[in-house]
């Protein structure tokens, strides 16, 4: 009888842990992550998977940067946003480990 009670208690712990993991994953997947470049005038926003969902380029950046430098700054902003998303995922995964 005691073994059954211990098994049921452990099962309840596992179910509760799975529920917390599911909630954390849902919260993480709804987040967006931002990366900035060119002194904050270029802003890239990605979803939790690192997919670019928005890109804002200030007119001053378009005016003062040549095409190559503008491309480099856009890439830098996107990479920073992707890195923020990856860091958040790593934090989530580390928090879920027993």
Mean pLDDT rounded to a whole number for the chain: 90
DSSP 65: S
Predicted model pTM: 0.76
Domain borders along the chain are 2-96
Q: Are 82 and 46 in contact (CB under 8 A)?
A: yes
pLDDT for 40-75, tens place per residue? 999 999 998 889 999 999 999 999 999 999 999 999
Fold type of domain 2-96? Ybab; Chain: A; (3.30.1310)
């Amino acid at each position: 009888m005691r073994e059954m009670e211990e098994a049921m208690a452990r099962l309840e712990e596992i179910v509760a842990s799975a529920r917390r993991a599911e909630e954390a994953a849902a919260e993480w997947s709804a987040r967006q992550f931002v990366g900035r470049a060119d002194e904050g005038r270029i802003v890239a926003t990605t979803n939790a998977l690192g997919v670019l969902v928005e890109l804002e380029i200030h007119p001053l950046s378009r005016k003062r940067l040549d095409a190559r430098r503008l491309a480099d700054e856009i890439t830098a902003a996107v990479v920073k946003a992707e890195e923020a998303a990856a860091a958040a995922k790593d934090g989530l995964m580390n928090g879920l480990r027993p």
